[in-house]
Amino acid sequence: MKSRLLTASITALLVASIAAPNLSWASQVSPAAVQAQAVPADVLARANALIARMTLEEKAGQVSQLFLFGDPTPFEPGVRSGATGALLFVTDPALINRLQKVAVEESRLGIPLLFGFDVIHGLRTIFPVPIGMAASWDPASVEQGQAIAAAEARASGIHWTFAPMLDITRDPRWGRIVEGPGEDPYLGAALARAAVKGFQGEHIGAPGHIIAGPKHFAVYGASEGGRDYDSAFVSDSQFYNVYLPPFAAAIEAGAGNVMSAYMELNDIPAAANHWLLTDVLRKQLGFEGFVVSDANGVKSLVPQGFAIDEADAAVRGLSAGNDLEMATAEAANATLPQAVRSGRLKEAVLDDAVRRVLVAKIRMGLFENPYVDEGATEAVLSAPGHRQAALAAAERSLVLLQNAGGALPLSATAYRRVAVIGPLADSAQDTLGSWVFVPKLEETVTVAEGIRRRLGESAQVTTAPGVQLRRGTPSMFEMFRPAPPAWTEAQAEVEFERAVEAARGADLVVLALGEIEQMSGEGASRTSLSLPGDQLRLVDAVKALNKPMVAVLLNGRPLDIAPLAEQVPGILEAWHPGSEGGTAVAKALFGDINPGGKLPMTWPRSVGQIPIYYSHNATKAPADQGARYWDQPSTPLYPFGYGLSYTDFAFTDIAVDRAAVRLGEPVVVTATVTNTGARAGDEVVQLYIHQRSGRAARPVRELKGFERVTLQPGESRQVRFNLTQAELRYWNAGERDWVLDPSDFDVWIGGDSRAELKTSFTVAP
């Protein structure tokens, strides 16, 4: 791969005779990563041979993907004629085989179909939502979870997933935050690598694996006001330093597909943005796979005011580098043959897109093995080890937000009557979270059920929702899971009092609060971060009973829980924890495990602080960062990287291997972390840096290393981080290039972004 970044000489700004290191993205890619993206010559030859035999209509079919809901019969003629090359939203192996047989045995060229599906955080076995997995700060856990998701998907006949979602976002009002890694590009990049490897295995076509499809390229998470689909306007510096690193990591890991975004980036729709899809994605990052639009993303170029009509949209999308169109009805790409015949589109451009799709099908082995073994599907979907892995992932995603007075863990023998109340207490769907389409709800362990199983016959566990949570507008996913009927005013009061009565008769109250799963995800942005509905009223009513109580949160975004924190001593963040979520929550509440997750996003005190993120610039008054507003503190409610434990940790002995290094040379940073408490526990050791001066103002802190460690009481461990030019470089907007500056660098190591243990080193010319 060769990088074609716009370049400017940096050596003139450094001491003469000192050669600048090669900072292009391509120079950072390992040989293994280059091999992961490289397409074997025999595969290319096979694809080219097919292209030479195809009609324009068949070529257009290969770059058209349609949704299939219900009866497949209307789709069979298009598959038979070669007008449809890919389908999505089919998970029934028998149905997949039926359609695949039409493609392979009844179409002229016998090109198999490519089946995609939203395998976001599991298929049958559901893992925590992605922001919850990010809270584990454990790439190995992410890799394992997505490998299991891939195995279940492949056993069902699915070849490709529209995941991982890698949109960095700093606005928790945005609904799709639940699908992503949070606010930090370094953490996001680490999780991106893990997810791609989990989905794809060692190579595209590995047995039991599927093609990964990182999305949404790019900057979707910066939509204005946190409103879904709205335009994003970012500087070059933000684009390269914040939003692009997770995608670069996914591509270096070998991702076979990338999905383009809906919104306009700096006024140019992402689905037809040549600079984005060709100059950046292919030329700078070296991507060799195929690009797919989001649903109707090509057709959307018309209402976005970019294309004249759908035929124009198809030409402009394909010409920009969007190979495959995903459409809910007839694809705009069906008009491409006429565009070629009229001279509006070069056939070579169409051939390039077709070639990328065919390469994916060849590498997946679909020509040799187009069908799925229907008899083997259920055994994979119900494998016991999958549930065990989902439980472990849920445990690692838990974040202890508050533990005043040591309220947690609870004694499993001290309470005879336990009330688990709140709208999320016993809801299977809300335990699983959004983007879950084919689960077995009866297999889901809710918070109430998890506590009931944990306590067994030693305690009576009662549950009541107390409050009904509903969106103000219908969810786009209600076609799959309609919202229950709204309570009448009288019914709402009866249910509220029933929950209060359950609390009154209990020795312990566990409040299960937060958001229903339809309150986050696509089309689920919010103007407020407060606990919705009458949940705080329920908290007030329980508080008045003077009963011991703790709270568990199930949600897909940071919430304004300051009023809750004032009343409830112990608060455990569970996100939407998946199939075994209730089991994990109960184990944490009663001390069988020690929560060790950390927040992947800063939690604001109120919506008025947004955007608030840890890696901001210093401004002219760096000592006054906490007093930017006069009506409330400017500091967050919980900082990035934050999470408590049932034990305590101390950080000591921070050191660098060299106090001064030359430009481009690595620095090794070490520190010792010790469990000073009485329980075993996990700590996520985090390393942050700050460049004091240079050719641009740099953030006050940037995460550049982390490691999750498990320590027994009294145990110490030295952690080691290697800071290379990959960690110290940055994109300089003035020079439009990657640069390394001679400067003094501060380094902190600790348990969150407020880490105090500090050292420094100097990078000399």
82 Ramachandran zone, left/alpha/beta (phi>0; psi -120 to 50) = left
Q: Up-side HSE of residue 418: CA atoms within 13 Å toward CB?
A: 31
Identify the helix (H) or strand (E) that includes residue 282.
Answer: none
Which member of 138, 171, 184, 294 is catalytic? Answer: 294
Residues found in the chain = 765
Dihedral sign for Cα atoms in the order 145, 262, 613, 284:
positive
Identify the helix (H) or strand (E) that includes residue 210.
Answer: none
Side chain identity at residue 62, one-letter code: Q
Strands annotated E in 37-76 = 64-67
Q: How far apart are the first and last CA of the chain?
A: 29
Determine contact, residues 151/378, Cβ cutoff 8 Å: no
Tokens of 40: 């074997």
Task: Decide if 294 is catalytic.
Answer: yes
Distance CA 438, CA 123 (A): 7
Determine contact, residues 699/751, Cβ cutoff 8 Å: no
3-state DSSP: the chain helix, strand, coil percent, rounded to 5?
35, 20, 45
3-state SS, one letter per residue, for 377-436: HHHHHCCHHHHHHHHHHHHHHCEEEEEHHHCCCCCCCCCCEEEEECCCCCCHHHHHCCCC
Determine contact, residues 689/669, Cβ cutoff 8 Å: no
Q: Where are the alpha helices (DSSP H) in 596-675?
A: none
762: helix, strand or coil: strand
Distance CA 350, CA 344 (A): 11
Q: How many CB atoms lie within 10 A of CB 424?
A: 29
Determine contact, residues 56/79, Cβ cutoff 8 Å: no
Distance CA 2, CA 15 (A): 27
Determine contact, residues 108/134, Cβ cutoff 8 Å: no
Which value, to the nearest 10 degrees, does the dihedral of the CA atoms of residues 54, 59, 62, 65 take? -150
27: helix, strand or coil: helix
**Residues in contact with 368: Cβ distance below 8 Å, sequence separation at least 6, in sequence order:** none
Residue 654's closest CA among 513, 542, 760, 508?
Answer: 760
195: helix, strand or coil: helix
Q: Which residues are catalytic?
A: 294
